Structure 1
Amino acid sequence: MSKSAATTVRFDPAGRLKGTIVPPPDKSISHRAAMLGAMASEPVVIRNYLEAADTTSTLNAMVRLGALVERRPDEVVIRGTGLREAGEVDGVIDVGNAGTLMRLLPGWLAGQKDRTYTLDGDSSIRKRPVDRIAVPLREMGASIEATDDRYPPFSITGARLRAIDYTLPVASAQVKSCVLFAGLVADGTTIVREPVPSRDHTERMLAIAGVSLRREGNAISLTNADELVLDELTVPGDPSSAAFAIAAGVLVPKSRLLVKGSGANWTRTGFVKIVQRMGGVVLGELEDPQGDGPVSPGEPITDLDVAHGPLVGTVVEPHEVPLAIDELPLVALLGCFAEGETVVRGAQELRFKESDRIALVVEGLRGLGAEIEATDDGFVVTGTGGLRGGTIHSHGDHRLAMLGAVAGLASDEGVEVVGMDAAAVSYPTFTEDFTALLRR
């Protein structure tokens, strides 16, 4: 690997990858832990909090709302305001590039009676819709005013909320979590129904905090709470970051990797199961799906053994998408090296991430020699056994930057990633970690 410009890094073909890699702390869980810490009545210690651009935006937002945040070498301590006592804010709450913060925080703010908050972010955030959270929050009694009734900047005026029984039009952990946050302070029992399961970190942390939640099929019910009681939370390794090491280990010949301490929550291991179905060697203890009843607190973790192996194409169906949403660009990359055709369906949510990931993944991989076509809700890849290489632009999207890096390691000629610094959003030590695997 070599840097040719401040934000451009070249990733040359790797002979093999060998060694142990520890993925960074989970970004989704770090966001949620910080917000719940700010809602809690007593100090909360968060161990292994992700120190990255997006999660720093969340800590800064909690400070704006009146929480005290102390950063220590191995932990973050948050002294919150309580569920119903978020502070008033002069000016705008800046969410930066953090879509999770933008979509979850309004659930809490909607219950701050007669207080108005305005959220805004960078140019990418201003392209990300918020109408899916506005609909249920308005139904609960809050007032939402958005740009073109759909985009940031937008304002929330809190109210005394009423519980609702809400069916999500599309499975989304972010929208689900937003409604559950609002349900914490709403009168009655709030029910959120999903078409298919999505990641359940919010539910597990609320269960730790003593909130009464139940899962019945794809419905989650929650009764309002007087307070959140949290002492400490520990953030596991991020499965979405671990996915890049898994993909690299499977694609680069003669590779053997140990991925340590990755989250094994069943709502986050869809990618591992897709890789295994394609023939990739990934061994480790994965959590079984949870059944009906009270939500189990806590997050399981696992170590994963990864090795190179020949791949065959697969079809990723819509019900699998929420369990692998952030890793689907890597499925496209694996499809380039697989025998036969790889198809992803029902992934229209990818068009509303940090970028239009369907369009940019197709454009980026095609520029490296892939045979790939976009569809309205996914893509179709015809495996050719590999990639030539070339140049790929991240367009400020951290997952596209890391996708390009892994493609370079497995390619014939190497890949230059323009905008590699975007990886710092979720994986600040990505380049250093992967350089260490090459040296071993």
Structure 2
Amino acid sequence: MEQKTITPVRSIQGAVQVPGDKSISHRALILASLANGACTLRGLSGAGDVLSTIDCLKSLGVSIAKRSGAVVVKGKGKYGYKKPKKALNAANSGTTIRLLSGVLAAQPFVSEIDGDESLRNRPMRRIIEPLESMGAHIESAGYKAPLKIFGGPLHAIDYASTVASAQVKSCVLLAGLYAKGSTRVSEPAPTRDHTERMLEVFGAKIGGAQNVVCVQGPAELTATDIDVPGDLSAAAFFLVAACLLPESSITIKNVGINPSRIGILDALTAMGGRVERTEVSNLNNEPRCTLTAVHSKLTGANFGGSMIPAIIDEIPILAIAATQAYGNTVIRDAGELRV
């Protein structure tokens, strides 16, 4: 095994570029595959979870190819998927299995989607129940993967989710593209809204307010080119490092600042972190900007309740920041980290 030596530094200075946002990358690939026509996706994340989504889509007959630094997806329309020859492998990606299940539930064939041992231990009842309420039939191993999905006609539902989960919400909304009428999802707390933002970009009718979102079906998706912004979750590591190390300053361009994802920026600000936003713009319904963080004197703070969904992916690095802050930092209501 190759070994690397990491030498501690006293400060960091300069500019970095972070990979494309994973959450947006998953959704761009899936919606592009359902669109009528080819879509060019730029800035896609190369993370393993995103590659799992690509592998599953290819197994469903979708053409996905790299071209001139971008990825071109030849959309097949909502019913263009081909029955896979074997079980789809989501590997370790909960986003892949939960979002794709919403689409597979409406296909005119039986499919199976599985993953690694870790994914097989994650709860799937949260998506199985609403999909079956819409008319699908799903066989599982005690409400866990592998899932055998008997696709078919779906009908719209009004679903009150008991967990604040963007994956659950997205799964139901994707299924709602196939159902006649308004499919409505309510949540106990707001979660990231990349799916509904991108559905609008692709031409779907989206509505709702506060913790409620609905999609009008059946909906046809129009081929659209997508530029994926940098992943704020990845940028968070550099922002925290700059805040902690004396005489440090880090600049990161083209970082996504979706309002449902900027909890880490709010958290650092609450702790006394100095992070500046400049060059703010909006592309494909997703705001982005340049972030600059400088050394700051951090103090402890309390985080919980409705703020947790907005910082769920950044809690580990936030905990690192807390170890160097003056005073106690308390993080509550973060049980979703385990699933």
Whichever residue aligns with residue 134 of structure 2, its letter is M
User: 2 CA distance for matches of 1:48 and 1:72?
Assistant: 12
Deviation track 1:77-121 (CA, whole Å, cap 9, x = no partner) reads 1112211232111211011221110110000111113x1111111
Aligned to 1:94: 89
Whichever residue aligns with residue 199 of structure 1, its letter is R
| Structure 1 residues 204 and 156, CA gap change in structure 2 (3 angstroms) | same
Does the 8 Å CA contact 1:208/1:230 hold for their aligned counterparts? Answer: no
User: 2 CA distance for matches of 1:79 and 1:85?
Assistant: 11
User: 2 CA distance for matches of 1:139 and 1:165?
Assistant: 10
Aligned to 1:314: 301
Aligned to 1:402: none
User: 2 CA distance for matches of 1:67 and 1:96?
Assistant: 19
Is the aligned partner of 1:153 residue 2:146?
A: yes
Where 1:161 maps in the other structure, the secondary structure is coil
Identical pairs, percent:
40
- TM alignment of 1:217-296, pairs within 5 A: 217-284=210-277
Aligned to 1:420: none
Aligned to 1:328: 315
- Normalised to the residue count of structure 1, the TM-score between the two structures is 0.74
User: 2 CA distance for matches of 1:164 and 1:128?
Assistant: 25
Where 2:138 maps in the other structure, the secondary structure is strand
Whichever residue aligns with residue 23 of structure 2, its letter is S
Does the 8 Å CA contact 2:16/2:253 hold for their aligned counterparts? Answer: yes
Q: Which one of the candidate residues 26, 30, 50 is aligned to 1:35?
A: 30
User: 1 CA distance for matches of 2:231 and 2:156?
Assistant: 32
Where 1:151 maps in the other structure, the secondary structure is coil
Aligned to 1:290: none
Q: 1:57: Cα distance to partner?
A: 1.4
Where 1:124 maps in the other structure, the secondary structure is helix
Aligned to 1:72: 67
Aligned to 2:14: 19
Aligned to 1:184: 177
User: 2 CA distance for matches of 1:128 and 1:9?
Assistant: 33
Whichever residue aligns with residue 302 of structure 1, its letter is C
| Structure 1 residues 9 and 167, CA gap change in structure 2 (3 angstroms) | farther
Aligned to 1:119: 113
User: 1 CA distance for matches of 2:209 and 2:278?
Assistant: 25
Q: Which one of the candidate residues 187, 194, 198 is aligned to 2:191?
A: 198
Whichever residue aligns with residue 44 of structure 2, its letter is Y
Where 1:300 maps in the other structure, the secondary structure is strand
Residue segments in structure 2 that go unaligned for 5+ positions in a row: none
Is the aligned partner of 1:139 residue 2:126?
A: no
Does the 8 Å CA contact 1:25/1:236 hold for their aligned counterparts? Answer: yes
Deviation track 1:283-336 (CA, whole Å, cap 9, x = no partner) reads 11598xxxxxxxx96111111110111111111122001111100111211111
Whichever residue aligns with residue 126 of structure 1, its letter is R
| Structure 1 residues 259 and 224, CA gap change in structure 2 (3 angstroms) | same
Where 1:80 maps in the other structure, the secondary structure is strand
Whichever residue aligns with residue 46 of structure 1, its letter is L
User: 2 CA distance for matches of 1:54 and 1:74?
Assistant: 20
Does the 8 Å CA contact 1:163/1:183 hold for their aligned counterparts? Answer: yes
- TM alignment of 1:360-399, pairs within 5 A: none
**Count of equivalent residues:** 337
Aligned to 1:430: none
Aligned to 2:328: 341
Where 1:220 maps in the other structure, the secondary structure is strand
| Structure 1 residues 9 and 165, CA gap change in structure 2 (3 angstroms) | farther
| Structure 1 residues 160 and 327, CA gap change in structure 2 (3 angstroms) | same
Deviation track 1:118-138 (CA, whole Å, cap 9, x = no partner) reads 111122212222111111001
Using the TM superposition, name which of 243-252 and 8-17 deviates more.
8-17
User: Segments of 4+ in structure 1 off by > 2 A?
Assistant: 8-13
- Normalised to the residue count of structure 2, the TM-score between the two structures is 0.96
Does the 8 Å CA contact 1:112/1:159 hold for their aligned counterparts? Answer: yes
User: 2 CA distance for matches of 1:222 and 1:53?
Assistant: 30
User: 2 CA distance for matches of 1:338 and 1:127?
Assistant: 35
CA RMSD of aligned residues (A): 1.6
Residue segments in structure 1 that go unaligned for 5+ positions in a row: 288-295, 353-440
User: 2 CA distance for matches of 1:13 and 1:278?
Assistant: 24
Deviation track 1:218-259 (CA, whole Å, cap 9, x = no partner) reads 111111134200221110000111111111111122211101
Q: 1:12: Cα distance to partner?
A: 3.0
Where 2:107 maps in the other structure, the secondary structure is coil
Is the aligned partner of 1:350 residue 2:312?
A: no
